[in-house]
A and B are shown apart, each in its own frame.
Chain A
Amino acid sequence: MKLLQVGLLTLSSMLAFSSPVFAGEAEDKGLAISKESKNRDLGWRDSQAEMEMLLKNQHGETSTRQMKIKSMEQENDGDKSLTIFNSPNDVKGTAFLSFSHPTTNDEQWLYLPALKRVKRISSRNKSGSFMGSEFSFEDLTSFEIEKYDYKYIKDETINGVDCWVVEQYPRDKYSGYKRRVVWIDKAEYRTQKTDFYDRKNTLLKTLTFSQYNQYVNKYWRASQLEMVNHQSGKSTLLTWKNYQFQKGLDEKDFNKNALKRAR
């Protein structure tokens, strides 16, 4: 019934209404859309890019964070990534190594250059803020099918883009979210928008993806991601630059020795 009420609100969902979704079917459809979205993004092997975060607080004060991110796809496992911080100046040289796993705990290490220390950190820090931004650690880890349960909600056109709306329920009890609502476009299976609902099921944040570019004729990456926190009034604008794919990064670029000499 709930599904019908939501569906009646928009014109596009009339389609869903005309071909009613039965119990279990919405789950299957949500999973199928998410799977296809993941599948279309397989095979990129490795990538590197520069990222800038513009943090804005409720008083309009801003601050920037710059970093370089190298990632590597793993067969039958989550991605490996190395993040190197470049600004603010006092965190220059700090680096973060992450091995994401679909079903077991992620492994994460932080390198503190002033102490020359590699620290294994708690991967339970899912909901914690990443560098003071509105992005939490879990918002930035690689998307893996096994991390969520799914439910197709409706079709909806946002900003002129025809999308499926899918709910994703995190399986990890340490997730900061009860659910995410994701708008995936029908043309290319790219995420256009995500609403994050906190543990109390209240809308917490909205993430909007824009300026999508296609790389190596296959992989779509948004150049701008804007995260708005509805509860605090703060926001973070994340801009990606100089994306490079398949430059031959390998395992030796993602171990603790690599972390120590990351620049």
Chain B
Amino acid sequence: MYKLMKKSMNQKLILSAVSCLTAGFFNSAAANEFEVRGNIELQGRFFVEDALFPTQHDTYFSLAAAPEFFWSWNDGNDSFEFVPSARIDQHDDERTHSDIRELSWIHVGDDWESRIGVRRVFWGVTEFQHLVDIINQSDSVEDVDNEDKLGQPMVNLSLVNDWGIIDFYVLPYFRERTFAGDEGRPGLPIINADTAFYESSDEEDHVDWAVRWAHSIGDYEIGVSWFEGTSRDPLLIQSPLQNVVPELVPFYQQISQLGFELQANIEDALWKLEIIHNDNNREDFWALQGGIEYSQYGVMDSNADLGWLVEIAWDERGDDGPSTFQNDVFFGSRLALNDVDSTEVLAGLSYDLDFKSTSFLVEASRRFGDSLKVSLDVRLFESDEPQDPAYLIRRDDHIQLTAQYYY
């Protein structure tokens, strides 16, 4: 579906057809509501060092849009959401892409809820890495932080009980991770994501399933989840195809993953922990991410809030495993001025204890007027160890300036 979407030049047609159809249907229902919102964004990325690969550039501009259409009827007990997203990048053919983030029907019963269609779902409690979050594939060309997700087709039934919320998911189609193209930066032109390889002969048609129980008990938030199906995290393997130039291709394993999440709000601190156990045919492993968040409110007799974060990451597969965060420590600080323009600055640092490599980021944003938000991001990567996955992006330090118009 994604590949089809990518090639489709008739995106606008599909979009208007869907909205006409659905609007026509819903107009017959009583007490219906229709709402449109979203944003349009212009972004520039400026790289300060010479590129590692000759195909890469120093300056990238891109334009993106993500409108959100929302209908509700039956007193709000039924609703329909449609969120397409698209980006056009000046150089990177793979970052020029579109996706359906949401296209789903939600029905609310007394103590249950069904959600059918393409959706995004977030699981987890930690900030620097999301180990437990597994339903959606990362849209990793959008940003280096992998926070952007591709829409996942699903049937989701959610049951609300006194002892917590339990969610069942059937996931009938798999989405491949997006990777930067030859000209993309940060990116590795040696990765060819045009052909993906799968452990299952069903490939992307393998039907995955998952279940999660989540509950709040006093000052504690607890979640336990189980996932069975195609790993969202590909292994990058030497292409089995006989290519002239050696290249890496994504390989998607079949896995069973147990996830555990815990957040404890004790006094002024939020303690956060995520643990996974991944069972697969290659190398079973445990991994964890955990730490503390502490906030000060109204610092220096002002309205400003200042937050502090420390987290650690550990992965049993160690420094020769595929995880970037196998033995890392993270520090973060977030300043929110709480002014009229919602000025915020976030600084984060991650340090790899095995490879002694560092990555550093600053994200600053504020609003101009009512609808324009401008963000300035600085990302610096430093690595001297060829075995370290971060070594390949060591020259990708960049400044990113984004202007988003919201409506």
Residue of A nearest to B405 (CB): A89
Assess the B221–A63 pair: CB atoms within 8 A.
no
Among A120, A255, A263, which residue has its beta carbon within 8 angstroms of that of B221? A120
Assess the A122–B37 pair: CB atoms within 8 A.
no
Assess the A257–B367 pair: CB atoms within 8 A.
no
Assess the A90–B406 pair: CB atoms within 8 A.
yes
Note all chain B residues with C-beta closer than 8 A to A90: 39, 367, 371, 373, 404, 406
Q: When A89-B406, A105-B265, A256-B165 are in contact, do A117 and B339 touch as well, CB less than 8 Å?
A: no
Query: Nearest chain A CB to B68's CB is how many angstroms away?
Result: 8
Q: When A132-B303, A257-B158 are in contact, do A122 and B295 touch as well, CB less than 8 Å?
A: yes
Residue of A nearest to B263 (CB): A120
A27 to B6 alpha-carbon distance, docked (Å)? 71
Q: When A88-B370, A120-B263, A257-B165 are in contact, do A55 and B297 touch as well, CB less than 8 Å?
A: no
User: Is B345 an interface position by the 8 A CB rule?
Assistant: no
Note all chain A residues with C-beta closer than 8 A to B106: 261
Note all chain B residues with C-beta closer than 8 A to A239: none
A73 to B338 alpha-carbon distance, docked (Å)? 30
User: Is A206 an interface position by the 8 A CB rule?
Assistant: no
Q: When A88-B406, A90-B406, A257-B158 are in contact, do A129 and B338 touch as well, CB less than 8 Å?
A: yes
**Chain B 176-220 residues near chain A, CB threshold 8 A:** 214, 216, 218-219
User: Is A45 an interface position by the 8 A CB rule?
Assistant: no
Query: Nearest chain A CB to B82's CB is how many angstroms away?
Result: 14
**Chain A 48-93 residues near chain B, CB threshold 8 A:** 55, 57, 61-64, 87-93
- Interface hub of B35, B79, B370 (most chain A Cβ within 10 A): B370
Q: When A93-B37, A124-B267 are in contact, do A261 and B108 touch as well, CB less than 8 Å?
A: yes
Note all chain B residues with C-beta closer than 8 A to A232: 303
Query: Nearest chain B CB to A98's CB is how many angstroms away?
Result: 12
User: Is A223 an interface position by the 8 A CB rule?
Assistant: no
Band of interface residues on B: 35 or more
Among A88, A118, A122, which residue has its beta carbon within 8 angstroms of that of B268? A122
Q: When A93-B37, A116-B121 are in contact, do A128 and B70 touch as well, CB less than 8 Å?
A: no
Assess the B265–A63 pair: CB atoms within 8 A.
no
Query: Nearest chain A CB to B39's CB is how many angstroms away?
Result: 7
Residue of B nearest to A59 (CB): B340
Query: Nearest chain A CB to B336's CB is how many angstroms away?
Result: 9
Query: Nearest chain B CB to A165's CB is how many angstroms away?
Result: 27
Q: When A116-B121, A120-B263, A127-B297 are in contact, do A88 and B367 touch as well, CB less than 8 Å?
A: yes
Assess the B160–A120 pair: CB atoms within 8 A.
no
User: Is B346 an interface position by the 8 A CB rule?
Assistant: no
Assess the B263–A129 pair: CB atoms within 8 A.
no
A89 to B367 alpha-carbon distance, docked (Å)? 10
Assess the A132–B218 pair: CB atoms within 8 A.
no
Note all chain A residues with C-beta closer than 8 A to B149: 116
Note all chain B residues with C-beta closer than 8 A to A87: 370
A129 to B407 alpha-carbon distance, docked (Å)? 25
A127 to B218 alpha-carbon distance, docked (Å)? 21
User: Is A125 an interface position by the 8 A CB rule?
Assistant: yes
Assess the B165–A255 pair: CB atoms within 8 A.
yes
Assess the B70–A263 pair: CB atoms within 8 A.
yes
Note all chain B residues with C-beta closer than 8 A to A104: 218
Query: Nearest chain B CB to A52's CB is how many angstroms away?
Result: 13
What are the 7 tightest A-B residue pairs by CB atom distance, in nearest-first order?
A: A89-B406, A128-B297, A129-B338, A63-B340, A117-B122, A129-B303, A90-B406
With A105-B265, A129-B297 known, 17 other A-B pairs at CB within 8 A are A57-B339, A90-B373, A91-B342, A92-B406, A93-B37, A107-B216, A116-B120, A117-B122, A120-B265, A124-B267, A124-B295, A127-B297, A129-B298, A132-B303, A256-B214, A257-B165, A263-B70
Listed A/B pairs (26) with beta-carbon separation below 8 Å = A57-B339, A61-B340, A88-B367, A88-B371, A88-B406, A89-B37, A90-B367, A93-B37, A104-B218, A115-B122, A116-B122, A124-B265, A124-B295, A124-B297, A125-B297, A125-B305, A127-B298, A128-B295, A129-B298, A252-B108, A252-B110, A256-B165, A256-B214, A257-B165, A261-B79, A263-B79
Contact surface of A with B, Cβ cutoff 8 Å: 55, 57, 61-64, 87-93, 104-105, 107, 115-118, 120, 122-129, 131-132, 176, 231-232, 252, 255-257, 261, 263
